[in-house]
A and B are shown apart, each in its own frame.
Chain A
Amino acid sequence: MALSLTQNRGTPVDRQYFTWREMVQTPISKLDDDAFTRVRVILMNGVELEAVRFGHTAARRNLQLRVPLAEIRRVEHQQATMVNWLLGADHSPLETTIAYEQVAIEVTAALARREPDPYIAANLRFGLLEDFDHLYRYSALLDRLTGMDANNILQCYTDILPGRPTVIEHRAPPDNVRRPMDKRAAQTLSKLHALTITAGEQQTQNYYLNIGPTFADPLARQLYAEIASIEEQHVTQYESLLDPSMSLLEDWLLHEANEAYLYYGAMQQETNPRIKAVWERMLDYELGHFNYVARLFEEHEGRDVQELFPNDLPDPFPYESNREFVRETLAREVDLRASGTEIVPLEEDPDSSIEYRRQLNADGSPSERVAENYRYTSGTELNRLGAAA
């Protein structure tokens, strides 16, 4: 069943509140909960953080909407808290990183498979192969630094293999900026996808920037520095797909619609009843936000939200392993590069990006060093090598 944004008006904004005890619940189980429960927790945290960042940027550029933005932003912040605090402390930062890359791979693949616009789909697949490589590099780090097995987090849903090598993912800034969609012509699903993936990548960039320096090992610190810089490129890539001519309120509405859409999908598919109840409550809050912003939109722009959104949103994407799709994409597209706004064959890799990589990697490449001869082995590579050091 599809979600209607206006039929159910959700929880009124003035009745959306939390106690600290509600925000800080007992976390999910790292061992017993399905990996996709963790995927949803991480994705929805990213989406809430995007809501907060958007709200702040908007407030700096608009006087009239500052108070309503602050009203909604307080709730989004507390939602972000409630959602993100569902991760338990037995997830080390590096294990959480493995989980972030699983989110990046499985969510990007799910969006790419359903994306109606071929250009946006190609961009999603392009980014997918890069995040896929990050998982491989971080898994090598987890194994070689701590003796831990990334698959305890991934639960066999996601392959641990090289993708487009991280060492060559670095590009000159113009090669990360894509063509925007046209808000009038683009399908709703494309808008939701572009915003979702932007939110996910932005959260990942921030996470790596924050936790990178908490590592003692120098190669771990270098690897986080390197991959964070790719996440910055991904944010640049994906946000540039969005139409910059959206008005502030159009953009705000899109954010609220996307949050509702994603919580709806999370709620539908959640296997942990306690977490399902969280998604259900968050969905009601987001519907409340959407309808609150819809009134502002009608008031300020004199237009009806039905112009922007269909009665029923598209069906949510499935949370499932995309192994075959990722492998096919890997086989076909690993050698693609980006030149300006276009995804191009290897031969057209622009000199500007090649030169940038040469300079950046001149003292050695962290992602190459960490994964030297690394082949994933269940139970860590010590299981294969034994005592042969």
Chain B
Amino acid sequence: MQDASTRITLQNRTGVQRSPQDFQDMLDGMEEFQPQLAEPDPGNDGIAEVRAEYISEQEPLGTIPPPATPTGMAKSAMKMLTGNRMQVLVDKLAERLAFERTGTRLYDALIAKYETLYAGSTLAGRGDGNGADADDYDGYVSRETLVEVRNQEAEHFMLVADAIRRLGADPTAETPCADSVGVQSIGLVQTVSDPRTSLAQSLNAMLTAELADNAGWELLIQLAESLGQDEMADQFRDALATEARHLQMIRSWLTLLVMAESGNAPAIVR
């Protein structure tokens, strides 16, 4: 199936080559009305000045709520007081939690797109189509694989919620890092949930998500270890291994789609 968004037509009107005469008129107008203008100085201009004004007010997005459960309070609060800033871990855990939850919904949207465009087919690759094993993600993707990945995202959300609970913190609280990662995710949701984006365009967004997620888990493991949370770090290493497979799957799938679309690989739907 050829991707409709890779067709060539004369309909795209955005570039100046579509309107050479009008473009020349624009250039002439600028010459006439704005002949003398110093080159801009990015980083040292009006935008930077105003940004600096507001940044220097140092108003944060918000703060991190204290642990609430008695045991957690005792343990975690103590560490917070002794300078071991456990709340940094809580904040980063909440960030991962928010991202895994959104990730699950991203896969829901991706599955809907895949189902509609490629219902009943398997996208070919070099593996045997059994997505359960890391190597088998090398190209083969089926609905079952996608559902499995989606469920792993949901499991990771539960895993992190559990870790937050064990620290005595509240997994339903939105912390500053969770808030910030929510803002970042909006573009991903918008891309994948748009019925007009192709599977490859959606996978491109998923690639951004999985790259960021992998790096997020790596940092979280390092942080948990540094704060003596070895058991947590171990569990997270398993999650990272799974996320690494997700990344590999998305990356190879996207590559196959783009290569096939460009005529450099065999058709990928069977």
Partners in one complex: yes
Interface code A204-220, partner B: CB below 8 Å = 1, 0 otherwise? 00000000000111101
Within 8 A of A (CB), among B148-178: 150-152, 154-155, 157-158, 161, 171-176
Once bound together, how far apart are the Cα atoms of A216 and B109, in whole Å? 11
The distance in angstroms between the C-alpha atoms of A382 and B152, with both chains bound, is 12
State A218–B158 Cα separation when bound (angstroms). Answer: 29
Q: How far is it, in angstroms, between the C-alpha of A380 and the C-alpha of B174 when the chains are bound? A: 12
Query: CB of B102 within 8 A of chain A?
Result: yes
Contact with B along A342-362 (1 / 0, CB 8 A): 000000000000000000000
Stretch at the interface among B125-133, B188-196, B214-222, B247-255: B188-196
Pairwise interchain contact B62-A30, C-beta atoms closer than 8 A: yes
CA distance A109 to B46 in the complex (A): 46
**Residue in B54, B57, B60, B179 whose Cβ sees the most chain A Cβ within 10 Å:** B179
B151 contact set on A, CB distance < 8 A: 387-389
Question: Taking the nearest CB of chain A, how far is it from the CB of B169, in angstroms?
Answer: 13
Stretch from A58-66, A96-104, A147-155, A232-240 that touches the partner: A147-155
Q: Verify B193–A382 contact, CB threshold 8 A.
A: no
**B154-A387 in contact (CB<8A):** yes
Q: How large is the interface on B (under 10, 10 to 19, 20 to 34, 35 or more residues)?
A: 35 or more
Could you give, for residues 171-210 of chain B, a 1 whenever the CB lies within 8 Å of some chain A CB and a 0 otherwise?
Answer: 1111110011011011001110111010000000000000
Chain A 171-188 per-residue mask, 1 if CB under 8 angstroms from chain B, else 0: 000000000000000000
Number of residues in A with C-beta < 8 Å to the partner?
Answer: 33
Chain B positions within 8 Å of A217 at CB level: 109, 189, 193-194
- In the complex, chain A residues whose CB is within 8 Å of the CB of B161: 379, 383
Q: Is there a chain B Cβ closer than 8 Å to A386's Cβ?
A: yes
For the complex, is A146 an interface residue (Cβ under 8 Å from B)? yes
Do A31 and B103 contact each other (CB < 8 Å), given the known contacts A217-B193, A217-B194, A387-B155? no
Tell me if B101 counts as interface (CB < 8 A to partner A). Answer: yes
Complex CA distance for A152 and B176, rounded to whole angstroms: 12
Judged by a CB distance under 8 angstroms, whether B237 is at the interface is no
Q: Which residues of A contact B98 (CB under 8 A)?
A: 147-148
- Chain A residues closer than 8 Å to B193, beta-carbon distance: 145, 215-217, 220
CA distance A29 to B174 in the complex (A): 12
Q: Does B232 contact A (CB under 8 A)?
A: no
- Would you call A148 and B102 a contact (CB within 8 A)? yes
Q: Is the CB of A146 within 8 A of B185?
A: yes
Contacts A217-B194, A380-B101 given; indicate if A145 touches B189 (C-beta within 8 A): yes
Complex CA distance for A89 and B172, rounded to whole angstroms: 21
* Residue A90 interfacial (CB < 8 Å): yes
Choose among A31, A92, A147 the residue that contacts B183 (Cβ–Cβ < 8 A): A92
- Whether, in the assembled complex, A247 has its beta carbon less than 8 Å from a beta carbon of chain B, the answer is no
Q: Is A26 an interface residue (CB 8 A)?
A: yes
B45 at the interface (CB under 8 A from A): no
Q: In the complex, A212 Cα to B54 Cα: how many Å?
A: 30
Asked if B121 lies at the interface with its beta carbon under 8 angstroms from chain A, I say: no
B209 to chain A, nearest CB (A): 12
Q: Do A148 and B154 touch across chains, with their CB atoms under 8 A apart?
A: no
A-side interface mostly: loop
Residues of B within 8 A of A383 (CB): 157-158, 161
- In the complex, what's the smallest C-beta–C-beta distance from A238 to chain B, in angstroms? 33
Q: Which of A26, A29, A145, A216 contacts B62 (CB 8 A)?
A: A29
> Which A residues touch B155, using CB under 8 A?
386-387
A378 adjacent to chain B (CB < 8 Å): yes
| Inter-subunit contact A382/B172 (CB<8 Å) | no
Contact A152 B154 (CB under 8 A): no
**Cβ contact within 8 Å between A146 and B189:** yes
Nearest opposing residue in chain A for B58, CB measure: A26
Contact of A385 among B102, B154, B176 (CB under 8 A): B154
**B102 cross-chain contacts in A, Cβ below 8 A:** 146-148
CA distance A146 to B183 in the complex (A): 11
A29–B180 Cα gap in the complex (Å)?
12
**Across the interface, do A379 and B152 meet the contact criterion of CB distance under 8 Å?**
no
The residue from B172, B175, B190 contacting A379, defined by CB atoms under 8 A apart: B172
Complex Cα spacing A30 to B60, Å = 10
- Contact indicator B61/A29 (Cβ below 8 Å): yes
> Which residues of chain A are near B194, meaning CB under 8 Å?
216-217
| Alpha-carbon separation in the docked complex, A26 to B58 (Å) | 10
CA distance A385 to B179 in the complex (A): 23
Residues of chain B with a CB closer than 8 A to A32's CB: 62-63
Partner of B59, one of A26, A145, A216, A220: A26
Say yes or no: is B136 at the interface (Cβ < 8 Å to chain A). Answer: no
A281, CB-defined interface residue at 8 Å: no
> Which one, B61, B109, B152, B189, contacts A31 given CB within 8 A?
B61
15 contacts between A and B (CB under 8 A): A29-B60, A30-B61, A30-B62, A31-B174, A90-B180, A146-B182, A146-B189, A147-B105, A151-B172, A215-B193, A216-B195, A217-B193, A383-B158, A386-B155, A388-B151
A residues apposed to B, CB below 8 Å: 21, 26, 29-32, 88-90, 92, 144-149, 151-152, 215-218, 220, 378-380, 382-383, 385-389
Q: 4 extra interchain contacts, Cβ-Cβ under 8 A, other than A88-B61, A379-B161?
A: A216-B193, A378-B172, A388-B151, A389-B147
User: 8 closest A-B pairs (Cβ-Cβ)?
Assistant: A31-B62, A147-B101, A216-B194, A387-B151, A217-B193, A147-B105, A147-B102, A152-B174
